A and B are shown apart, each in its own frame.
Chain A
Amino acid sequence: MVGKNCFAIASDRRLGVQLQTIATDFQKIYKIHDKLFIGLAGLATDAQTLHQKLVFRHKLYQLREERDMKPETFASLVSALLYEKRFGPYFCQPVIAGLGDEDKPFICTMDSIGAKELAKDFVVAGTASESLYGACESMFKPDMEAEELFETISQALLSSVDRDCLSGWGGHVYLVTPTEVTERILKGRMD
């Protein structure tokens, strides 16, 4: 979700195989660099592999270009990587959030074969995406400050995952401003 010169990215913490919950502290949001985060919803093995491939590509980019990747560029990279597997895709939906030039917030999501969806306000992904769309649409306001943005995204996340049996077991929220990154764990309904 985009705020005033900041953004927040949040996920739930459940890892499950259909009805069995395997882990309640599973990390779905990965840091690429201080001002770029990617959340990967979907099949855990594909999310992990995709993240490892992205680290590979970004490290080489950093060494060659001597700078960090811009979020827009990174989104194109993710999209290209996903489309390479067009006929045998990764079962993963990424949510990308970062601060671009002049610390302007950038967010986007894409489907599992790389169709980018840019937005100015919020993007969602996962099994609870329909609830998330509804919650975000009603709770979002433009140009929220960091603390208010955190409250909004947390409420939207927790209320949506409560309507989904496959999501939940708390929340994980990263709030990113040009100067700092705050990581918080949310305690929701643990079921």
Chain B
Amino acid sequence: MSRRYDSRTTIFSPEGRLYQVEYAMEAIGNAGTAIGILSTDGVVLVGEKKVVSKLLETSTSVEKMYKIDDHVACAVAGIMSDANILINTARLQAQRYAYAYQEPMPVEQLVQSLCDTKQGYTQFGGLRPFGVSFLFAGWDKNYGFQLYMSDPSGNFSGWKAAAIGANNQAAQSILKQDYKDDITREEAVQLAIKVLSKTMDSTSLNSEKLELSEIFLSSGKVKFHVWSADKLNKLLVKSGLTQPAADA
């Protein structure tokens, strides 16, 4: 490993690698897992909460899921402060498009535009790349429901199911086995929490450690809905992934 080529993001190593980008991906490998699953009638996003403390104000803050526009949302893994900047950028880009064309920005274009921003930090400016990976979930009238994964290099692609953050390879291989093309939104929710429970360190899940959200169509309009702690707890108990309160 040539340590001489580490410090500048904008130069290649002799082996043709960009070390800063790879180190950024390392940082994400330590962050809470996020999984996205595309279904026939929606997209499901689940995230593992890393900051679990009784002192944390949970009523208002959401740690892993963010709405970008009415028809697009994302899950993040990595350095939260970097993520906030990029989410703000994505929101501005979506609104600028909507202002110019008076229609919602197609999901792929939004992801492309954000990834172009990320790429800029790997080629010029001398600034470090963003230490965040995203899972974008959305709906548009061209391609219906879509799921995209993007990483610090500015690379992105569309997925049927994807995982980012800690243990993402393990999650990805379970998804490869269990995903089927005609999965419904309900089944996708079940699959998502099942995969997350297998890759998470803790033995039993509860709503304090998880966030679950869905993008779906309701009376013709796209809705982004984050599940409440109650509803999530009930689902976890029903799926047998958590001990019901009576046992404790």
B-binding residues in A (CB < 8 A): 52-53, 55-56, 59-60, 63-64, 66
Contact = CB atoms under 8 A, between A and B. Distances in A.
6 contacts: A52-B99, A55-B98, A59-B69, A59-B98, A63-B68, A64-B91
Contact of B98 (A56, A63, A64, A66): A56
Nearest to B87: A63
A35 B60 CA distance: 22
B95 interface: yes
A74 B59 CA distance: 26
Interface of B: 60, 67-70, 88, 91-92, 95-96, 98-99, 102
A59 B90 CA distance: 13
A66 B60 CA distance: 9
A99 to B, nearest CB: 23
Residue picked from B92, B99, B102, most chain A C-beta under 10 Å:
B99
Contacts of B98: 55-56, 59
A52 B68 CA distance: 18
A56 B60 CA distance: 24
Nearest to A52: B99
Contacts, number: 23
Nearest to A63: B91
B99 A60 contact: no
Give the top 5 A-B pairs by smallest Cβ distance, nearest first: A56-B99, A56-B95, A63-B91, A52-B99, A59-B95
Nearest to B61: A66
A174 B92 CA distance: 31
B19 to A, nearest CB: 35
B121 to A, nearest CB: 23
Given A52-B99, A53-B99, 13 more contacts: A55-B98, A55-B99, A56-B95, A56-B96, A56-B99, A59-B69, A59-B70, A59-B95, A63-B67, A63-B68, A63-B91, A64-B91, A66-B60
A97 to B, nearest CB: 24
A60 B98 CA distance: 12
Contacts of A55: 98-99
A60 B102 contact: no
A56 B95 CA distance: 6
Contact of B91 (A52, A53, A60): A60
Nearest to B90: A63
Contacts of B88: 64
A52 B60 CA distance: 29
Nearest to A59: B95
Contacts of B95: 56, 59-60
Nearest to B92: A60
Contacts of B67: 63
A60 B67 CA distance: 11
B211 to A, nearest CB: 15
Nearest to B95: A56
A63 B94 CA distance: 12
A114 B98 CA distance: 25
Contact of B102 (A52, A59, A64, A66): A52
Contacts of B68: 63
Residue picked from A53, A60, A63, most chain B C-beta under 10 Å:
A63
Residue picked from A52, A53, A59, A66, most chain B C-beta under 10 Å:
A59
Contacts of B102: 52
